[in-house]
Amino acid sequence: MAGRRSETVAGIPVKQFSLITLTLQNSALILVMHYSRRMPPVNGLRYFASTAVFLNEVIKLLISLTMALWDVAMRVPTNTPATALFENLFYAIFTNESWKLAIPAALYTLQNTLQYVAVSNLDAAAFQVMYQLKILTTAIFSVTMLGRSLSSRKWVSLLLLVVGASIVQLPATPAPTGMKSLREPGSGLSFLPRSLEELKKAGSHAAGQLVRRSASYAGIQEDQGMQQPRMNSTVGLVAVLISCALSGLAGVTFEKVLKESSTASASLWVRNCQLSFWSLFPSLFIGVMFVDGEKIAKVGFFAGYNWVVWAAVLLQAFGGVVVSLVINYADNIAKNFATSISIVLSCLASVYFFDFDITRYYLVGTSVVLFSTYLYTKPERGSAEPSMVAEFEKTAVGGNSDYFYDDRPFRR
């Protein structure tokens, strides 16, 4: 392990490289996801979140398969035939009671879907802060399902986390006369066209691609809502709270499955393959086919896609590789420090790109959330408390290295 931790990428130690990349990825992902749900429709159509979630799982599975195959190849003689490599990879993925991971995989899929709902109805900076409530849900499920005990300091930090998140949601002082809030109808985003005239000047054809329908009030309202979708903070808040609860439940369920497994442990990349594989079924059959199947059949699977949507999908998928590196080469404190920096960067970027109004409530609430996160992850004096698997996202399915190794003999 010591040799692995001394590796470098472009001359930069892997630990620092992974933390820097994680910070930038976290910041860019939320901003791009938010913009992809707020930008003018592509050819009059907005993409379906269910297709993005499914493609995210497909890409993550391909990445994990590649890394797992490389991991297997590194442990065997160079003259080992390719058929033997694929046979061992197949054996590793579909043994170890991998079917039990179908439950946390389904929970994670629903969580990812709700993230799109939340980021569509909340400012990117506010979503980043509110999403830290997953630490609270993880702790609660860890205590109730795994029988963990938390120190008084950790309970105080969780209380501060709730207080900080609540402060962020306090209503801001009404804007002076003549000024528009981002949430007011017609305000739009600062760098998006705010009228049909601006759409024409910007060379956008979205206004002319409106779905033709009868001149009914409902039709006009739907078209206007497609061009300038309005954020519903209540829907966004409910979505992010449920998403946090699912994140904690899925993470703890995943850890419980690993602890109760009677078979040998698998590598980190194999676990990623297993989770992504089982995530394909709910994302395809429930999300793509059952929820949006009728609409997708009419307009196509890739309706509403452009480079922004693909960027959001790829950022979320490649985030799994980044966080997996953090697990192997950095500790939980460093990961949360990177998350804190990404919150600050998201806030600054939201001000520049989305005209986000930094209120005193947001500043105070965010400061309390960041402090509570630091307090929660700070090691207890005189104890070597292991990190919880559930404190990480599905894209990084672990935090305890004891769960991720492969000591099975190579199958020839």
pLDDT digits (tens, 9 = 90+) for 122-154: 998 889 899 989 989 989 998 999 888 888 988
The answer, yes or no, to whether residue 381 has pLDDT greater than 60, is yes
The answer, yes or no, to whether residue 368 has pLDDT greater than 80, is yes
The pLDDT value given to residue 374: 83
Question: Is 151 in contact with 385 (CB distance < 8 Å)?
Answer: no
The pLDDT value given to residue 5: 45
Band of the pLDDT at 402, cuts 50, 70, 90?
A: very low
Whether residue 186 is contained in a domain is answered as: no
The pLDDT value given to residue 332: 60
The DSSP letter of residue 401 is: G
Whether residue 150 is contained in a domain is answered as: yes
For 113, the domain range is: 2-175+197-403
Whether residue 370 is contained in a domain is answered as: yes
Whether residue 40 is contained in a domain is answered as: yes
Which run of H or of E encompasses 12? strand 12-13
The pLDDT value given to residue 59: 94
pLDDT digits (tens, 9 = 90+) for 152-192: 988 999 999 999 989 988 776 554 444 344 344 443 334 44
The answer, yes or no, to whether residue 101 has pLDDT greater than 90, is no
The answer, yes or no, to whether residue 10 has pLDDT greater than 90, is no
The pLDDT value given to residue 300: 95
The pLDDT value given to residue 346: 87
The pLDDT of 74-94, averaged and rounded, is 82
> Looking at 61-70, 259-268, 325-334, 346-355, which range is the least confident one?
325-334
Band of the pLDDT at 56, cuts 50, 70, 90?
A: very high
The pLDDT value given to residue 330: 60
Sign of CA dihedral 390, 391, 395, 396: negative
Provide the domain count of the chain.
Answer: 1
Greater model confidence, 38 or 229: 38
Q: If we measure between CA atoms, which residue out of 261, 257, 252, 254 comes closest to residue 145?
A: 252
The pLDDT of 358-381, averaged and rounded, is 85
CA distances from 324 to 193, 205, 212, 335 (A): 39, 41, 47, 11
Whether residue 189 is contained in a domain is answered as: no
Alpha-carbon span 362 to 348, nearest angstrom: 12
Rounded mean pLDDT of the chain? Answer: 76
The pLDDT value given to residue 20: 81
Band of the pLDDT at 398, cuts 50, 70, 90?
A: very low
The pLDDT value given to residue 7: 67
Encoded tokens for 252? 């703890």
The pLDDT of 343-348, averaged and rounded, is 87
pLDDT digits (tens, 9 = 90+) for 212-236: 444 554 444 445 555 567 888 899 9
The answer, yes or no, to whether residue 210 has pLDDT greater than 60, is no
User: Which residues face 356 on adjacent strands?
Assistant: none
Alpha-carbon span 343 to 331, nearest angstrom: 19
Nearest-5° Cα angle at 385, 140 to 96? 75
The pLDDT value given to residue 1: 43
> Looking at 60-64, 68-72, 196-200, which range is the least confident one?
196-200
Whether residue 19 is contained in a domain is answered as: yes
User: Which residues face 9 on adjacent strands?
Assistant: 12
Whether residue 192 is contained in a domain is answered as: no
Whether residue 129 is contained in a domain is answered as: yes
> Looking at 68-77, 95-104, 216-225, 393-402, which range is the least confident one?
393-402
pLDDT digits (tens, 9 = 90+) for 184-208: 444 333 444 444 444 344 434 433 4
